Amino acid sequence: MKNLYLSNRFFILFGAIVGLFLLSFPISFLFPVAQTAFVLALAIVVADIILLFNKTVKVKVRRQVPKILSLGDVSKISISLKNESKQTLKLNIIDEVPVQFQLRDFNIDLTLESEEEQLVSYELRPVERGEYTFGVVNVFMESFLGLARRRYQHKYPMSFAVYPSIVQMKQFELKAFNQVSNQYGIKKMRRLGHSYEFEQIKNYVRGDDMRSINWKASSRHATLMVNQYEDERAQQVYCIIDKSRAMHMPFDGLSLMDYAINTTLVLSNIALQKFDRAGLLTFSDKIGTTIKADRKANQMNKILAALYKEKPRNLEANFELLYHSSRKLIKGRSLLILFTNFESQYALERVLPILRRINNLHLLVVVFFENTEVKEFAKKRVTTTEDIYLQTVAQKFISEKEQMVQKLKQYGVQAVLTSPADLSVNTINKYLELKSRGLI
C-alpha cells in the first residue's frame, strides 16, 4: 500500500506500548498486560486501515484557478472537496503550487461529514512574469480513529501564463473615465486654451462658454448656437522602458522594471481609449522591443505580448543609442514617457544633454523613482549619534532626488518623481495633464 502513512497518534501509541514492555522486565506481571495492549493496538490499526482503504471511501477534488494571473496582483485559488463516503473524514490538503512561489509550508486541515462538500481557498501573488504550473493536489485522509492516513492524489496539472497586470489595466480604465475618478487618485484636469478639434455646432445651454458662440449660426437659426470642440486625436504616445541594472531595485517583491511594465500596459490602454496611438520601445545597452504607435484593434495584444517577454539586462543603459533610435523609429512629434531611474545627480547630468536633444524632437516625460526605504528612515525618530548621521545622509539623498526634478524642469523636460506603488496613478495624471493643456 504505497499510499499508506502512519499518523502521530500511531507513534504515540507505539511508544506507550514499548514503554510498557520495558517496564515489564523488572515487573513481571506487566508482561501479559503489555502483550494484550500490543495485540489490541495492532487490531485497531488494522481496523483503521480497512476503514480507510475501503472501496466506498472516496473524496472528489477540483481545483479552480482564475483564467488570468496578473503580475503583482493577489489571485484567489479555490479547491472544492466532497466526501462521497459514508463516514466522517479528517483531511489534510497539500497543493503543489508553482515553484516560483517557494511555498514549503502549505497545509490546510478540515473535517468533512458524509456527503458534505466544502470550498477552501488561499491566495497567491505572482511577482514574476512567465509560465506557472500547478502540480498534484495531495489529500491525506484519516478516519475517526486517526492512527493511519491514506493519501489520495488528484493529478490535474494546470499551466498558466502570468502577464503584466491586466487587473490594474481594467481598474484604471474605469477610474480614468469615471466622473468621480478623483476620489481614487486620478485627477480631473481642467481644459486650458482651445487646442482642440472642432466637432459640431449645437444649441447653447446654460454653462456653455460664451466665447464659443457662433454668431453666424445664431443669426440663421434665431437662437444662440455654440461651437463644440473635442480633444485632438491620433497623437502618438510611446512608453520607453529602461531594462538596465538601474531598474533591478526591488520594491514589495517586484522590480522597478516590472512596475514600469504594469504602468505601460495601463497607460497604453488609456491612450487608446482616448483615441491616441500607443507604441512601445525598450532599451538597455541595446534596443529591445519596438512597436510602432498605432490604433489598430490588435495593438493592445501586441503590446501585452511584448511586455510579457521582456527580460532585464545587467548592463548600463545606452541613452545615446536611444536618441538615435528614437530619431529613426519615431516619425513626427510624439509624447515619450521614459521609465528609468537615477540614484545620483551625477547619473542624471551624464545623460541630461541626450535627454534635452530628445526633448527638442518630442515631448519627453522622464519618470523615475523615490527610494521608499530611505524616505521612511528619514522620518524615523533617532536617538544615537550613528542614527543621526545616517538620517542626515538619507535626507540629503531625498533632497538630491528633488533637485533632479528641478534640473529637468529647468531645461524644459517634464519629470515625475514617484514611489513605485503610485507609479500608475502619477503617470496617468501626467498624461491627462499634458493632454488637457494641449501640449500633445
DSSP character at residue 188: P
Check whether residue 224 and residue 327 sit in a common domain: no
Q: What separation in angstroms does the CA of 440 have from each of 42, 123, 263, 292, 367?
A: 83, 42, 20, 17, 17
Instruction: Quickly list DSSP for 195-241.
Output: -SEEEEEEE--TTS-GGGB-HHHHHHHTS-EEEEEE-----EEEEEE
Q: Return mean pLDDT, the chain.
A: 85
Mean local confidence (pLDDT), 188-205: 60
Pair (300, 428) in one structural domain: yes
The reply to whether 332 and 293 lie within a common domain is: yes
Q: For the domain that residue 123 is a member of, what is the CATH number? A: 2.60.40.10
Report the C-alpha gap between 119 and 117 in whole angstroms: 7
Q: 185 and 261: one domain?
A: yes
List, for residues 236-255, the tens digit of each pLDDT value.
Answer: 999 999 999 999 988 888 99
Last residue of a domain, one of 19, 34, 52: 52
Query: Which pLDDT score is estimated for 206?
Result: 76
Check whether 132 has a pLDDT greater than 60.
Answer: yes
Q: Which residue type, as a one-letter code, is found at position 25?
A: F
Beta bridge partner(s), residue 153: 138
Residues 27 and 96 in one domain: no
Q: Are 44 and 101 contained in the same domain? A: no
373 and 254 housed in the same domain: yes
In this prediction the pTM is 0.79
* Same domain, residue pair 304 and 343: yes
Phi and psi torsions of 255, nearest 5°: -80, 165
411: which DSSP letter? T
d(C-alpha 112, C-alpha 219), whole Å: 81
Segment 192-214 shows an average pLDDT of: 69
Contact yes or no for 167/73 (Cβ under 8 A):
yes
- 22-40 per-residue burial string, b: 16 or more CB within 10 A, e: under 16: eebeeeeebeeebeebeee
3-state class percentages of the chain: helix first, strand second, coil last, to nearest 5: 40, 30, 30
The C-alpha cell 545587467 sits at 314
| Grid cell of 46 as nine digits | 488494522
Residue type, 376: E
pLDDT at 422: 92
36 and 155 within one domain: no
294 and 417 co-located in one domain = yes
Structural domain that includes position 207: 198-230
pLDDT at 37 over 70: yes
Number of domains comprising the chain = 4
| 181, 93: one domain | no
pLDDT level of residue 231 (50, 70, 90 thresholds): low
